[in-house]
Amino acid sequence: MLQRFCALFLLVLLTTCDDGDIINITLEFDQELQRCDNFENFYLIYDTREDPNEALILTLPKPEYDYLFDELAEDAVTTLSISSATGIRFNYRTYNSVITEGALCNELSDPNLILDNDYETNTGEVIVDVIIVDDDNDGIPSFEEDINGNGNLDDDDTDLDGIANYLDRDDDNDNVLTIEELDEENADGDDDPLTNPLDTDNDGTPNYLDNDDDGDDILTRLEDIDEEKNPRGINNLVPDENGVDVYRYLYNHPTAMEAFADVGFNDNEYTRSITTNFTLINIGLEIIDATVIELGSFASPNQTFTTVIED
């Protein structure tokens, strides 16, 4: 699920008549959309700029379009109609002063912000492209967690805990996070943790996919003297034969082969980002000399999902 990006700038030619003269005005918007969700009956999706002071505003009724922004959103492209029947509106507005942050979301109008021109359309379409990226933040790009190489991330579950690797921050359920079992020292200098991942017991399975990292036949998660679901706790350090402290789960030696109580697994967490792209088509405003307008993208706040892993 790779996120697609719009162009950096929206260039729209506006044509207007003044005593028979045609004036071409170029508008440059950054396409980083804002949203007002405090109104009871509708969302405002908008972009603003200064010099001149202008705003592009898309109105979407509630609750019909809640699904575009919340955890129920799905990767999808939807076409919406702008009309009085749907309640979807689009406005191009100019103002007499700078539009301060959040000013358009004020339920009481700002007396210092005076509307100069308001152009509204009741025709056209809005193409809404919802892009969802789920990530376990384990330092491995999601597409790299297609272990079986079939292009389907959802059927790669190394530890068989019901959570696909790309959503699992501990891919082998050894209570050591995947991100802590990669090439932490960047030994090969390529900044890619997967080209030289840790493989302590040299069994061909990297530590982040191996639930017995030192090959001593004691599961990594049971080599936790504090029984706190943390094999990397300070009390799990033991001196090796050279007197250097190492974690017992990485030390295949008789002095570090005790199995402690099975206290289960840490909960899993992953984050979801939702980006909603809006494109306007054939909106029918004569002042705007364009049939397609890349309005821009709105990024919803990231959400965190937690899953309890059963013993």
> Could you tell me if residue 153 is inside a domain?
no
In a domain, 157, yes or no: no
Looking at the fold, whether 206 and 288 belong to one and the same domain comes out as no
Statement to judge: residues 129 and 14 lie in one domain: yes
Say if 20 falls within a structural domain.
yes
Based on the domain organization, do 180 and 253 belong to the same domain? yes
Residues 222 and 287 both lie in one domain: no
47 lies in a domain? Answer: yes
Q: 190 and 117, same structural domain?
A: no
Structural domain boundaries, residue 294: 10-133+272-307
Q: What is the pLDDT of residue 16?
A: 38
Euclidean distance between CA atoms 152 and 78, whole angstroms: 24
Domains of the chain: total: 2
Q: Which residues of the chain have pLDDT under 50?
A: 1-25
Q: What is the pLDDT of residue 127?
A: 97
Same-domain check for residues 276 and 260: no
Asked if 106 and 215 sit in the same domain, the reply is no
Statement to judge: residues 97 and 210 lie in one domain:
no
Q: Does some domain include residue 237? A: yes
One domain for residues 125 and 22: yes
**Position 201 in a domain:** yes
Shared-domain flag, residues 280 and 237? no
pLDDT at residue 249, as a whole number: 97
Q: Do 121 and 191 share a domain, yes or no?
A: no
User: Is 200 found in the same domain as 254?
Assistant: yes
In the prediction, which pLDDT does 183 show?
79
Instruction: Tell me if 163 is assigned to some domain.
Output: no
Residue 287 lies in a domain: yes
Supply the pTM of this predicted model: 0.77
- Model confidence over 236-268: pLDDT tens digits? 999 999 999 999 999 999 999 999 999 999 999
